[in-house]
Amino acid sequence: MQDIKDIIATISNVYENDTAFTVLKDFERVLDELDLYVYDNWETGELVEGPKMARHFITCSFMWPREKMPDPMGGKRLTDFGCKVFFKKDVYIFPRKILQQNDIRPGTKKGKLDQMPIWIVEIRMPKELIRTIYSGYEAEQDFNVDPANSEVVDDATPIEKADTIVPAEGE
Confidence of residue 163 (pLDDT cuts 50, 70, 90): low
- The order of strands in the sheet holding 113-126 is 2-3, 84-95, 113-126, 57-65, 46-53
The string of pLDDT tens digits covering residues 68-88 is: 999 999 999 999 999 999 999
Domain ranges for the chain: 2-97+111-144
C-beta pairs of 15-23 under 8 Å, 24+ apart in sequence = 20/51, 23/51, 23/53, 23/58
pTM higher than 0.85: no
Residue type, 166: V
End-to-end CA distance of the chain: 81
Q: Higher-confidence residue: 151 or 54?
A: 54
